[in-house]
Amino acid sequence: MKAKLFRIGCVQASLILALSFTLVSTVQAGDLDAFMGEKGTLKISGGTAHIPVMKEASKRIMTFNSDIQISIAGGGSGIGIKQVGEGLVDIGNSGRKPTDKEINDYQLKMFKWAIDGVGVVVNPENKVKALSKAQLVDIFSGKIGNWKSIGGVHKSINVYTRDKASGTRDVFWKKAIDKGEITDKANFVVSNGAMKSAISSDPYGIGYVSVGHIDESVAPVALDGVVPTLENVKKSKYKIARGLYSNTKGEPSGLVKKFIEYLFSPEGQQLSADKGFIPVK
Amino acid sequence: MKVIDRFAEKFFWVAAVLSLSVTVLIFGFMVILGFPLFKGGQFIELLSKPWLPDHGIFGIYPMIVGTLSIALLGLGFAFPLCLGCSAFISVLGPKRLGRILKKTVQIMTGIPTVIYGFVGIFLLVPVIREVFESGSGMCILSTSLLLAILISPTMILFFSDSFDQVPKPFLDAVDALGGNKAQKILYVILPYSWRGVLTGLILALGRAMGDTMIALMVAGNAVAIPDSVLDSARTLTAHIALIIAADFESLEFKTLFACGIILYLFTTFIALSVRSIDSKFWRKK
Amino acid sequence: MMDRVLEKVVAGFSWICAMVLLGTVFCIVGYLLINGLGTINVTLIFGETDPVDALLFRKQVFDGLFPAIVGTFALVALSVSFAVPIGIAAGIYMAEYCRGVLKRVFSLFFDVLAGIPSIVVGLFGFSVAIFLHNYFSSRIYPCLLISALSLAFLVLPYLIRTTQISLENLPEDIRQTAPALGATKLQNIFYVLIPRSLSGMASGVILSIGRCAEDTAVIMLTGAVTMVGVPKSVFSNYEALPFYIYYISSQYSNKQELLSGYGAAIILLVICGLLFTVAFFVKHRLAYHALYRQ
């Protein structure tokens, strides 16, 4: 009798386990399944920080369903918002929250799918790895012109910055240097990736980049004692943080809606985490 | 037969008019889209003000300085180099080496500008940075050096052709008088073909001012008015490439059309100057 | 005596110039080859996709140069097919039908068109695209078609000029033979003049192809994007080799991507070098065939 009950119990347990596995795997497969049978083109542009995630997501979607074509361009948050507002693209990415004026003018719907930080970076060979906010403001305004004044070698500081369309720049300007001046002698680079390559090849450069992009080719600089890492952004210890937004004009539908939902799906969120951002879920 | 003839003539004529209208259309678009700048004489102001978007000042003066300094410096490097090379090809070098150089130069005309920019970033910029020990290496000097190499092949071929057009009797006369090759070049060929040389120079200047990729990748794109050749600078062309990302209703974007108009006017000026030299040349012939 | 020194200096100077130029070219090409030759393999072009599937467009290629190469080819094919008929026709007009003041006026305009910086042409193309988008159809954005048209504008003056010059350089006696026998102007053009100037025109066409393949400034404003795969229609965005080289050079995220940039640079260099060499070869060989074969 006991043996029979035991056997029934085992069967029940394994049934339940099997069921739950299928449920879980259906959810996982379902992240991409939503794209089954879809056709058409999806145009995305905007924030350069988002690009690694966009590229990987499109790769998976396009491999899964070859009838879908996804076009990805950069340009910066400003361009993303402007182009989606004008109807030139379906999704405009931005690394900053669109302003109220932009939301009103273009009837934007915002979707924040990850959190990122903006960190100051220098070349890994540079000895200066920590700065105070006051020093940062002075460096970027040009007041402090030589690394020697802050404990480095006797070489002039090469400041690198982004153009006005950049959301990364916007967040840096507002939160890190309190809307201070950026010297007009600063070199301009066009994206987060470009900032990274510039700093990694210039031993005397200083710039700012999305925390998710920081790797061994650049060295993060601690601001008032807090190093810009993912952990610190998550714990709100590092204050210079921003959301990664994907914006659409009006309510998204069809392919656009599915893409945005994919970004929020477990697979999509795992993708963001893999690329170095903090998923919102 | 007559109908086909007339139809064909009309067809060719239409093609030519179409091409001409493209030229006019380009200028027209620049002017119409940049029209808000002309109101209130802002256009003239723009030419002398610095670029300070945060303060609402969208002057393109720094970019004009950038374009001129990079182009003129590049020309300064290229001109003697090209004179020397074309002298080598036409007269001063051994025949076989001259032909090899000419062939190399001809193939060089096919090298894309983006390749020069690419190699410039990774090869030249670090060298300049270390040698001069100031700045980031992304400066006027690096850009001009690369630009000089860009415009050299066309200039060399142009000079070569001009040198080759010196009438043979002149060259024979030098030989008859016992002159050597250097004398031939200095006292006969160069004076005779100075117009061709000038034309080549002006065309190269046009090319140098109109280049975008090298300046965009290597000049640093700072908005300050450059003080020295080791300063980062921005050209009109790179400026267009950078600001295209801005909001196109804004005044900022409209300044792009101002840049376009200025570049267009530079081009027209160059076409006219070449024309005036050439017509004297042909009339003499 | 002073003259002797001057002459030696001049001779020495020209040798130095020649060596400097040759040295620079070897440095540039050598640098690319040293760094990039190692990366040229099937993976560079096709990524992880099987080459046969990619070539038959059955599967998309990611992480490979194939879409950019296809994009460049499509772009060149399209823009040349726009530019060649109009350019050659206009060149024939300039050489055969146009005279006097009108000719000088046309000539001036074409010289100006030839000198317009490519970024200004790109700005024009972009503005036209936005204008059409706002006023005609919201389905029009910067795309393959717009880029091809803009590139066509860019190379039009080259085609016109080379056609015009090769027609005008024909000796007078050849021009006058057919009409003397009763041929009409058009017959003269088609049966006599064009075949004889074919080499010049062909080299003009090939040079235009090269120019379209290498240009970056125009396409970066009119439709080239970071990633989109093989273009599916003329109204879609596309990738292109020179654009790839440009953004990789400033935005590479790891060593692998940088090396792919070198590989792409070598491929582009080879394509353009080949086109220009073919152009010069055609110019000289076709003349031989045209003159001596008939």
Determine the residue of chain C that is closest to B260 in CA distance.
C120
Neighbours of C8 (CB within 10 A): 11
Please tell me the distance from the alpha carbon of residue B267 to that of residue C113, in angstroms, as a whole number: 8
Same domain, B28 and B116: no
Count Cα atoms within 13 angstroms, Cβ side, for A41. Answer: 20
Element (H, E) at A69: strand A68-75
Extract the tokens encoding C70: 């296809």
Instruction: Let me know how many helices (H) and strands (E) chain C has, helices first.
Output: 14, 0
Nearest-CB residue to B26 (from C121, C185, C268): C121
Per-residue HEC secondary structure of chain B comes to CHHHHHHHHHHHHHHHHHHHHHHHHHHHHHHHHCHHHHHHHHHHHHCCCCEEHHHCEECCHHHHHHHHHHHHHHHHHHHHHHHHHHHHHHHHCCHHHHHHHHHHHHHHCCCCHHHHHHHHHHHHHHHHHHHHCCCCCCCHHHHHHHHHHHHHHHHHHHHHHHHHCCCHHHHHHHHHCCCCHHHHHHHHHHHHCHHHHHHHHHHHHHHHHHCCHHHHHHCECCCCCCCCCCCCECCHHHHHHHHCCCCCCCHHHHHHHHHHHHHHHHHHHHHHHHHHHHHHHHHHC
Q: Do A78 and B222 touch (CB under 8 A)?
A: no
Kindly report the nearest CA distance between residue C294 and chain A, in angstroms: 52
- Looking only at the bridges linking them, the beta strands covering A219-223 and A278-279 are unpaired
For chain B, say whether C270 makes contact (Cβ under 8 Å). no
Q: What is the mean predicted confidence (pLDDT) over A61-65?
A: 85
Q: Is the pLDDT confidence value at C196 over 90?
A: no
pTM over the 0.90 mark: no
The predicted structure's pLDDT at residue B285: 44
Same domain, B77 and B179: yes
Assess if residue B39 is contained within a domain: no
What is the average pLDDT value for chain B, to the nearest integer? 84
Q: Is the pLDDT confidence value at B75 over 90?
A: yes
Same domain, B13 and B112: no
Same domain, B82 and B125: yes
Same domain, B18 and B150: no
Task: Name every chain A residue with its beta carbon within 8 A of the beta carbon of C237.
Answer: 43, 71, 73
Task: Name every chain B residue with its beta carbon within 8 A of the beta carbon of A155.
Answer: 133-134
Same domain, B71 and B201: yes
Question: CATH number of the domain that B257 lies in?
Answer: 1.10.3720.10
The predicted structure's pLDDT at residue A25: 41
CB A174 within 8 A of CB A118: no
Band of residue A4 on the pLDDT scale cut at 50, 70, 90:
low
Task: Out of 1.10.3720.10, 2.40.160.100, 3.30.1540.20, 3.40.50.300, select the CATH number for domain C68-293.
Answer: 1.10.3720.10
Q: Is the pLDDT confidence value at A1 over 70?
A: no
The predicted structure's pLDDT at residue C187: 82
Task: Name every chain A residue with its beta carbon within 8 A of the beta carbon of B52.
Answer: 184
Band of residue A10 on the pLDDT scale cut at 50, 70, 90:
low
The predicted structure's pLDDT at residue B40: 62
Assess if residue B247 is contained within a domain: yes
Extract the tokens encoding C255: 């060593």
Q: Is the pLDDT confidence value at C254 over 60?
A: yes
Kindly report the nearest CA distance between residue A269 and chain B, in angstroms: 29
For chain A, say whether B36 makes contact (Cβ under 8 Å). no
Nearest-CB residue to C225 (from A73, A192, A213): A73
Q: Is the pLDDT confidence value at A238 over 60?
A: yes
The predicted structure's pLDDT at residue B78: 94
CA dihedral C29, C31, C35, C41 (to 10 degrees): 0
CB A168 within 8 A of CB A118: yes
Residue partners of B198: CB distance under 8 A and separation at least 6: B277
Which carries the bigger pLDDT value, residue B250 or residue B175? B175
Q: Do C8 and B182 touch (CB under 8 A)?
A: yes
Tell which C residues from 233 to 262 touch B, by Cβ distance under 8 Å: 242, 245-246, 249-250, 261
The predicted structure's pLDDT at residue A8: 60
Residue partners of B74: CB distance under 8 A and separation at least 6: B143, B144, B145, B146, B147, B148, B150, B151, B208
Amino acid, res. B31 = V
Q: Do B210 and C115 touch (CB under 8 A)?
A: yes
If we measure between CA atoms, which residue out of C178, A78, A264 comes closest to residue B53? Answer: A78
Query: What burial class does residue B3 get, using C-beta atoms within 10 Å of its C-beta: 0-12 exposed, 13-18 middle, 19+ buried?
Result: exposed
For chain A, say whether B221 makes contact (Cβ under 8 Å). yes
Q: Is the pLDDT confidence value at A27 over 60?
A: no
Q: What is the mean predicted confidence (pLDDT) over C267-288?
A: 79
The predicted structure's pLDDT at residue A19: 47
Q: Do A184 and B50 touch (CB under 8 A)?
A: yes
Q: Do A66 and C59 touch (CB under 8 A)?
A: yes
| Phi-psi sector, B271: left (phi>0), alpha (psi -120 to 50), beta | alpha
Q: Which of A86, A146, A158 to mutate to test the interface with B (most CBs of B within 10 A)?
A: A158
For chain A, say whether B133 makes contact (Cβ under 8 Å). yes
The predicted structure's pLDDT at residue B116: 92
Extract the tokens encoding C223: 């439709």
Q: What is the mean predicted confidence (pLDDT) over B34-51?
A: 75
Band of residue C291 on the pLDDT scale cut at 50, 70, 90:
low
Q: Do C228 and A63 touch (CB under 8 A)?
A: no
Same domain, B213 and B83: yes
Please tell me the distance from the alpha carbon of residue C96 to that of residue A100, in angstroms, as a whole number: 63
Determine the residue of chain B that is closest to C215 in CA distance.
B112
Range of the domain at B123: 44-284
Q: Is the pLDDT confidence value at A26 over 50?
A: no
Q: What is the mean predicted confidence (pLDDT) over A146-167?
A: 86
Q: Is the pLDDT confidence value at B47 over 70?
A: yes
Assess if residue B255 is contained within a domain: yes
Determine the residue of chain A that is closest to C140 in CA distance.
A88
pLDDT digits (tens, 9 = 90+) for A145-155: 888 888 888 88
Q: Do C251 and A197 touch (CB under 8 A)?
A: yes
- Looking only at the bridges linking them, the beta strands covering A278-279 and A108-122 are antiparallel
Task: Name every chain C residue with its beta carbon within 8 A of the beta carbon of A55.
Answer: 226-227
Query: Which of the given ranges, A184-188, B224-228, C152-156, has the highest pLDDT on average?
Result: C152-156
- Look at chain B and report how many structural domains it folds into: 2
Same domain, B65 and B9: no
Q: Do C133 and A51 touch (CB under 8 A)?
A: no
Same domain, B15 and B128: no
The predicted structure's pLDDT at residue A28: 46
pLDDT digits (tens, 9 = 90+) for C41-93: 877 888 777 777 777 777 777 778 888 888 998 999 999 999 999 999 999 99
Q: Is the pLDDT confidence value at C31 over 60?
A: yes
Band of residue A15 on the pLDDT scale cut at 50, 70, 90:
low
Same domain, B9 and B127: no
Q: Do C225 and A71 touch (CB under 8 A)?
A: yes
Assess if residue B38 is contained within a domain: no
Neighbours of A201 (CB within 10 A): 17
Q: Is the pLDDT confidence value at B264 over 50?
A: yes
pLDDT digits (tens, 9 = 90+) for A78-131: 888 888 888 888 999 998 888 888 888 888 999 999 988 899 999 999 888 888
The predicted structure's pLDDT at residue A9: 56
Q: Do B248 and A82 touch (CB under 8 A)?
A: yes
Residues of C with CB under 8 A from a CB of A: 59-60, 62-63, 130, 133-134, 138, 141-142, 225-229, 232, 236-237, 247, 249-254
Nearest-CB residue to C228 (from A72, A88, A191): A72
Q: Do C227 and A72 touch (CB under 8 A)?
A: yes
CB B257 within 8 A of CB B34: yes
Same domain, B145 and B23: no
Q: Which of B77, B97, B114 to mutate to test the interface with C (most CBs of C within 10 A)?
A: B114
Q: Do B246 and A78 touch (CB under 8 A)?
A: yes
**C-alpha distances in angstroms, C43 versus C64, C226, C263?**
7, 19, 11
For chain A, say whether B179 makes contact (Cβ under 8 Å). no
Which carries the bigger pLDDT value, residue B59 or residue C290? B59
Of B26-30, B176-180, C126-130, the one with minimum mean pLDDT is: B176-180
Q: Do C237 and A43 touch (CB under 8 A)?
A: yes
Residues β-bridged to residue C16: none
**C-alpha distances in angstroms, B280 versus A212, A229, B38, B203?**
64, 70, 37, 17
Same domain, B18 and B97: no
Nearest-CB residue to B18 (from C86, C157, C250): C86
DSSP state of A163: -
Q: Do B121 and C250 touch (CB under 8 A)?
A: yes
